[in-house]
Amino acid sequence: MGDLINIEIKARCTDQDRVREFLRDGHADFKGVDRQIDTYFKVSSGRLKLREGDIENFLVFYDREEKQGPKESKVILFKADPASALKEMLVRSLGVLVVVDKRREIYFIDNVKFHVDVVEALGTFIEIEAIDADGSIGKQRLLEQCHRYVDLLGIQEHHLVPRSYSDLLLENAEQGSSM
């Protein structure tokens, strides 16, 4: 699939039914429910994860801004074959940093992807990703789309999560080991 740019937000979400209703009313294209296991590997820069699911199976490398609110990611996707030895090769050569286990509902409205997530050990979330797969949309338009859906969904600033699920799990593990 190659390089793409997206602008994304992640927020804690206590009323996922309201989000689903908004997406239904907006005629979102429901892609399905995916149980995803994301294995993050120890790398010197960026992030490298293997996503294993029923719908999505990718090796993903990305660099993302670490800030509150919409953030830009530069992403490289490689379609992974679940039957291949890829995971074993990565585990043996790089080592596992953390594993994220989630149930994800996937929706699209045009180029904007919505995730309604239940993440093991973390809780419930909504993610919004405005995606530019071929460079035709541009960062400014992606930001506008992301802000628009944050406003329409009534996402409050204090619900925004600036870090990835992997970071949150690692933070929880550190806090648990320091007790």
Residue 29 lies in domain:
2-177
| Domains of the chain: total | 1
Series of mean pLDDT values for 10-residue runs along the chain (179 residues): 82 97 97 98 96 96 81 90 96 98 98 98 97 91 96 95 94 79
pLDDT on residue 78? 94
pLDDT on residue 179? 56
Closest to 40 in 3D by CA, of 92, 104, 93, 90:
90
What is the rounded CA–CA span in Å between residue 56 and residue 117? 14
* DSSP assignments along 4-18, one per residue: EEEEEEEEE-S-HHH
Provide the CATH number for the domain around residue 144. 2.40.320.10
| Residue 30 CA from chain centroid, whole number | 17
